[in-house]
Amino acid sequence: MGTIIDFDQNGRQFLKWERPPDQFLAAMPEEWRWDFHIYLENTTGHMELFAITEQDHILGGGMVFKGLPPEMEIFEKEVEPLVERGYLYIGFLFVVPKYRGQFIGSTWLRCMKALYSDKGFWLTVEEPGLIEFYEKNGFKWTSTLVQGKRYEELLKSEPSKYFGG
């Protein structure tokens, strides 16, 4: 599947996804797959996929992107300072529905922060209800990005090395 980065007591693994993306795509929400294909076709040199697995099944996963993701180009002016400072963009973070409520998303974020402890992270959410989840995981709301009728909430997390992590 990929390079194992972390284990837990229950046999779950956090790993860098190095297989073809078919199984990864099949695990993510169906409505995201089309947008994700655009990333796969155009930006593979700038992104890495990571998953939490158990017995070769994906429980959750997401993408880390270096630079300005294509879908965020409309907010380039607002997010460029984060990109210039080397912050990594987190996108397409998902947990397979039957594994929700088991801290899979929080574990994924914790592992990413440990893996890239010298980097900050940023992300946007369209659903305000997700802000609380990310704040519980060390992100801080920064601003609301507006372009026409499109609104997204910008959150960021500082490099953990700044906090002695």
Q: How many angstroms separate the CA atoms of 67 and 30, rounded?
A: 26
- 76 neighbors 68 (Cβ within 8 angstroms): yes
Tens-place pLDDT, residues 26-54:
999 999 988 888 778 777 678 999 999 99
Sign of the Cα torsion 43, 38, 159, 122 reads positive
140: helix, strand or coil? strand
Query: Can you list the domains of the chain with their CATH numbers?
Result: 2-163 (3.40.630.30)
Predicted structure pTM score: 0.90
Residue with tokens 């593979």: 44
92: helix, strand or coil? strand
In this model, does residue 152 exceed pLDDT 80?
A: yes
Mean pLDDT value across the chain: 90
Convert 55-68 into a string of H (helix), E (strand) and C (coil).
CCEEEEEEEEEECC
